[in-house]
Amino acid sequence: MFPIRLRALRKGQNISMNQLAQNLNAKFPEDEHKNTSSQIGNWERGIRSPSYVEIKKLALYFNVSMDYLSGRTSMEHLNLGTVLMDKNELTFGDHTLDQRDRYEIYQLINGYLQGKDNRHKETEDDEPSSHQEKLNLNFDDYKM
């Protein structure tokens, strides 16, 4: 399961094995063991298994849990607000989202959810039929 998840995460961010190795080395410079593209290729093909330290680095880099990477859990819980405000590169289709894009998307989602909560609260307080409008078919009311 680990090779499949690693490949999916890497390809989901549209980065090469070489880029991932370089990014890991830059993000974790204190690690004396430098990552390489061939090492990552071996992990993705299931030829070798990474150490606990390497899995932890990958989990931190991709913002997922170690359990998710290892296949222990099938669904990873992600806080979308945290994902949007994180420093990792975030893409949607072929578009890379900059910080302004992320903030605007965050505001859109936040506004939607607040509106949804308000609509839900209104329907709980009112009777079910009170939200239906009556159609006025008296055309005399509309004369100029």
Helix, strand, coil fractions of the chain, as percent rounded to 5: 60, 5, 35
The pLDDT score that the predictor gives to residue 76 is: 55
pLDDT category of residue 129 using cuts at 50, 70 and 90: very low
- CATH tag for 2-76 (out of 3.30.930.10, 1.10.260.40, 1.20.1050.10, 3.90.79.10): 1.10.260.40
pLDDT at 144 exceeding the cut of 50: no
Q: Backbone phi, then psi, for 95, in 5-degree steps?
A: -100, 130
Q: Give 40 or 85, the one with higher predicted confidence.
A: 40
pLDDT at 135 exceeding the cut of 80: no
Distance CA(85)–CA(65), nearest Å, equals 18
pLDDT category of residue 48 using cuts at 50, 70 and 90: very high
Q: Cα angle vertex 67, ends 33, 95, to 5°?
A: 80
Predicted model pTM: 0.52
Model pLDDT for residues 73-126, shown as the tens digit of each residue = 665 566 777 778 777 788 888 889 898 898 899 899 988 888 887 776 766 665
Could you state, in order of their start, the residue ranges of all structural domains in the chain? 2-76, 78-127
Model pLDDT for residues 77-90, shown as the tens digit of each residue = 667 777 787 777 88
Cα atoms in the 13 Å half-sphere on the side-chain side of 70 = 13
